Amino acid sequence: MLPEQRKREIVEYVSKQDGCSVDELSRKMGCSKATIRRDLNDLEERELIERSHGGAVPVTTVGGEKAFREKKVQSLESKIAIAERAVEEIHHGTVVFFDSGTTTMEVAKKAPAEDSFIGVTNSPLIALELREQGGEVQLTGGSLRQRTLALVGPTAERFMESSNFDITFIGTNGIDEEGFLTTPNAEEAQMKELMIENTKRTILVSDGGKLGERSFKRFGTLDDVNAFVTDEKLSDKHRKWFEDADVRVVDEATN
């Protein structure tokens, strides 16, 4: 296993277990305790975990909101799989909005190169990724949130209110059994509401772990979504949520 892959798995395991020891990580990863300690020191410097006595715990979150750097390395393979399916929705000549987030970042990376579409986003990182591919890119402007690196606030909202998009790829922190889409921050919730209001088609991109979860602020419902692209086959219970809202599901069952 390559060092970076091992470190990603360490972050995921520490988060899932809500903390674990060096001994446990050594057994789980199949490497020495010395290697695990070096990895933990590096991950702590990158603010992806916090060291504890004899092990590590997840980084402290604010209102249940993880930092962009932490989310970036979690479930990376799943996000890539989602992105590979999601980009099939992009067609030549369309105006495509990319919500700020780590899953939508992977969608941007897999998007068609050159000038086949106009990319718009409230994420400076996604804008740079799209620009490297040679296409036309526009940023919303606004205030940069330190934790998620998303542009929000009055300037960003005015941009959204005066714009129209063919497709929006949008992420969420939770999809609850009532069909509400939620996120921890009020300003980001407002931006997501405007994304939905000003697009012809909303494509929700999210891993299956968000199903049944609920965060602080609502920004929409499944009735606002045209398609849901995820990384695993949905259970009958969860599939019914989307069928009732007439949302097309792209999951393992559609491969």
Q: What is the CATH number of the domain that holds 186?
A: 3.40.50.1360
pLDDT of residue 197: 98
Same domain, 211 and 123: yes
pLDDT tens digit sequence for 176-209: 999 999 998 889 999 999 999 999 999 999 988 8
What six digits make up the tokens of 90? 């992009």
Q: Which residue has the higher pLDDT, 251 or 74?
A: 251
Q: Which structural domain range is residue 210 located in?
A: 71-254
Residue 225: name the closest of 203, 206, 243 by CA.
203
- The CATH number of residue 53's host domain is 1.10.10.10
Residue 134 included in any domain: yes
Q: Which residue has the higher pLDDT, 97 or 50?
A: 97
Q: What is the mean pLDDT of residues 96-121?
A: 93
Residue 182 included in any domain: yes
Where do runs of H (alpha helix) occur along 18-164?
Answer: 22-29, 33-45, 68-72, 76-86, 102-110, 124-132, 154-161
Q: Which residue has the higher pLDDT, 113 or 126?
A: 126
Residue burial 121-130, b: 16+ Cβ < 10 Å; e: rest: bbbebbbebb
Residue 65 included in any domain: no
Q: CA 144, CA 121: separation in Å to the nearest integer?
A: 13
> Lowest-confidence range among 51-60, 108-117, 160-169?
51-60
Residue 71 predicted with pLDDT over 70: no
User: Can you give the pTM of this predicted structure?
Assistant: 0.75
Same domain, 24 and 110: no
Same domain, 24 and 54: yes
Neighbours of 1 (CB within 10 A): 11
Q: CA 105, CA 17: separation in Å to the nearest integer?
A: 26
**Could you tell me the pLDDT band of residue 110, with boundaries at 50, 70 and 90?**
very high
Residue 40 included in any domain: yes
Same domain, 184 and 112: yes
Same domain, 176 and 103: yes
> Lowest-confidence range among 56-60, 131-135, 137-141, 225-229?
56-60
Q: What is the mean pLDDT of residues 115-123?
A: 93
Residue 218 included in any domain: yes
